[in-house]
Structure 1
């Protein structure tokens, strides 16, 4: 392949992994945001307000328990069959489940079947999310020149804030089109139904991408990648999972919908104001994610992580004190500060994970490590935050919780060797 064709293929890979991952995260984050704004009323409204909010956020966290299943399946088959085919399967599964949620009747219409079906579709989302990430980042990183792995890997990483930006923006728009009770009655459904259109867009973009060259040249493939991974690399899996947990615990205050629910319900701030501030946070997260990926190519993954966690600690400490001021300007300041911090502990993750594991188990290693980190970090962070506020009457305990999680992420990153630039076909 000549240089021009290689550059063109690089652009296709970055577009396919970034846009496709953004669509998947749009679906995933959309549920989390609506859980605290709508589902606690229309799906779990038979409970009192506090309990309904906690149970609604539990349904968000429940899907994380099924991410390892998706990670194991996708990791195994991506190591056996390739990265590309897994990305097509996860995209269709996620889009189908999200569209189905948009059509789901409420508790008042079909009773207990409504929350049960809602949880079922959320589980499908969790399995899909568990399988999507590892295959997407490996396709990007394994196509990348060695000196640009962080930047290429930041593409699918940027899909997460892009998905948050798209989902928050759509909800903010629908809050204008269908204000007040109309949003609760039907407005929230439109962004879910849009998923079927986005699913076909993602499928069209991904169908022309070539398989990872590292996978095609792979020799000595493990007969059972998961067994080999857990036998030979379990320490790296656990430590790298804690690195992501340090990011995810803080990130899911926004991505998991807790700030949206807390600021609009308990502080009485305008729902539209909160959604637009979260949209701003997504933009900041997106930009700093790409910056962190590129920076890690210059100074290494480990140094980028350590500096990022220091910044995240400050942002986590300031988050609720600023939000609790109930002023739009301070809410925006808190959201933008948090968005920048999240990107600085997220953009380099794809390249770091890919460089941690040898080629025959790389798909299983990245997928499973990410899924475990999501459970340890983001899975029940909104539920824990809601329970802490309800039991203490203050957000101070949540601030301590976020700062402790950030410190754990810092120590985990500190304990890992920096493998920036290691050959992907020989490690």
Structure 2
């Protein structure tokens, strides 16, 4: 199939595809859409990751009190996992309505859901005040967070990609990934600041609530920025032709099951690198080595900060040289860095750990994810794109949430980090094979 023509006309770009008429995309609108997608991702991921920190630090004694401290912690972390389980449901619901009624409205709803759920968590009485109602309400609010995150990526990625001018699609769409790292950094900083400014008693009594309460301010900023973004140009053109699908997700599952499976496979590289790097690494050094957790946190923070410029750089290069190579180099880098990463953790030295995190995250993860937004978007027709790509992305996220658990079981049974490193490398290679399999679909309409 011949490639589409994308002539530039002043500040706008006209994009034509084999199945849809030419769509004129304004460069300024494209930048605004990219900013809105980035800010929304910051809001949603700030709140989503914030819960993980609180679950590990305070939710056990406050909402899941037990004579056995470990049992309380396990119950608390179990509530954290609820968010992952509800992500596919969010992807399905928001994908359905996003394909029928538009991406813009769904992105308003996801930010509102996340902001209100997090604020409610900050106001929630503990077990001592309302008994069993406290953990029930907490888990319910966590489910709402999971649904919001499950619906966020699809809408944010599509708004960025479908509004991006030719030659800048990967670069502008990396904001969705950058936003997740900024959200993680802000969540970590908020908890660290409150911890430093309060006594342990004050933190347990009320200090932990402050990061949740300020999330409503982030949500308001996100809503303000998204209010100035028009509907996706490609979706609006398809809607004018009355091409909306009656049941988008059902159609995607019926017509594109291989594409959905390919997206899930491709996501194994970012899921394994992210959760091995930022979650399992802490459990590993705390339980199996003498390395201080603070050293690992410092090294991981370096990678988080570097992810922001690296993602932007890789996105620009992908626009210049083509995205296929990025899903070859990225997964290979992740697979090759698996063993050195764990060796660095075991060494206990900060500098090797920083190098390990840079190789795993800023090369393996960032090189792969800088092209995910355009790749996954282009695999599906605009009529079922939010449902197909969004649901597959959210389902892979639910699977990825269990990677640290599997790695912990392998580590405990073997007494060595080698099986965990093999798991990381194997999942990365699955992503590589999946990308080679799916390239024909992603390259069908765009280059």
TM-score (norm 2): 0.86
In structure 2, distance between residues paired with 1:331 and 1:175: 25
Deviation at 1:183, TM superposition (A): 4.0
The Cα shift of 1:211 comes to 0.7
For 2:265 and 2:27, the matched residues in 1 are separated by: 35
Instruction: Name the structure 1 match of 2:376.
Output: 353
How many residue pairs match? The answer is 423
- Which is worse superposed, 147-156 or 261-270? 261-270
- Once the two structures are superposed, residues 283-330 of structure 1 have per-residue CA deviations (whole angstroms, 9 ceiling, x without a partner) of 122233223322322333332011001111133323333223334444
Counterparts of 2:202 and 2:283 in 1: how far apart (Å)?
18
Shift of 1:27: 0.8
Deviations 1:130-167 (A, max 9, x none): 11110111011001123221112112121111111211
Q: Aligned pair in 2 of structure 1 residues 281, 414: CA closer, same or farther (>3 Å)?
A: same
Q: CA 1:295–1:181 in 2, change beyond 3 Å: closer, same or farther?
A: farther
Structure 1: stretches of 5+ with no match in the other structure: none
Q: Does 1:399 align with 2:407?
A: no
**Greater mean alpha carbon deviation, residues 41-50 or residues 305-314:** 41-50
Structure 2 equivalent of residue 232 of structure 1: 255
2: CA distance between counterparts of 1:254 and 1:47? 32
2-structure distance, mates of 1:133, 1:400: 29
The residue that corresponds to 2:150 in the other structure is 130
Classify 1:339/1:250 alpha carbon distance in 2 versus 1 (closer, same or farther; 3 Å).
closer
1:3 paired to 2:3: no
Q: CA deviation at 1:83?
A: 0.7
The more displaced of 380-389 and 97-106 is 380-389
SS in 1 for 2:276: coil
Cα 1:191–1:410 shift into 2, 3 Å: same
Separation in 2, partners of 1:245, 1:59: 23
Is 1:413 aligned to 2:435, yes or no? Answer: yes
1:174 and 2:194 aligned: yes
Deviations 1:149-204 (A, max 9, x none): 11121121211111112112222323322365554444332211110111111111
Alignment of 1:8-407 (within 5 A): 8-46=28-66, 48-178=68-198, 180=200, 182-218=202-238, 219=241, 220-254=243-277, 257-260=279-282, 262-263=284-285, 274-340=296-362, 341-376=364-399, 378-407=400-429
Asked if the contact 2:31/2:164 (under 8 Å) is kept, the reply is: no
Following TM superposition, by how much is the alpha carbon of 1:98 offset from its aligned partner in structure 2, in angstroms? 1.2
User: Residues 161 and 173 of structure 2 are in contact (CA less than 8 Å); yes or no, is this contact kept in structure 1?
Assistant: yes
Structure 2 unmatched runs, 5+: 1-8, 13-24
Q: Is the 8 A contact 2:277 2:361 kept in 1?
A: no
Q: Which has the larger radius of gyration?
A: 2
TM-score by length of 1: 0.89
